């Protein structure tokens, strides 16, 4: 469960972890019915590439490079 700011919207997240050097997926839905999702591949312990969907944005699909600090 996540709490969004501003507006205090509650989000529920489902995460399917594949580990390092493996694919993963997640999906989340808000109490307002908005949703977003991602399908990615974790390259190593810190970097992954992800195809991201957000139903709230005009450009709903994007490709992200994500790094953990």
53-69: pLDDT as tens digits = 999 888 899 999 999 88
Residues of the chain with pLDDT under 70: none
CA nearest neighbour of 36 among 47, 22, 51: 51
Report residue 59 as tokens: 């450009």
Residues near 40 by beta carbon (within 8 Å), at least 6 away in sequence:
23, 24, 25, 48, 49, 50, 51, 64, 66
CB 55 within 8 A of CB 35: yes
Sign of the dihedral through C-alpha 28, 32, 33, 36:
negative
Domain carrying residue 19: 2-67
Position 36 scores a pLDDT of 95
Q: How many domains does the chain have?
A: 1
């Amino acid at each position: 469960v996540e709490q969004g700011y501003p507006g205090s919207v509650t989000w529920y997240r489902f995460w399917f972890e594949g580990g390092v050097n493996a694919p993963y997926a997640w999906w989340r839905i808000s109490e307002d019915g908005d949703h977003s999702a991602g399908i990615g591949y974790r390259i190593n312990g810190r970097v992954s590439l992800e195809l991201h969907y957000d139903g709230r944005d005009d450009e709903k699909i994007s490709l992200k490079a994500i790094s953990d600090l």
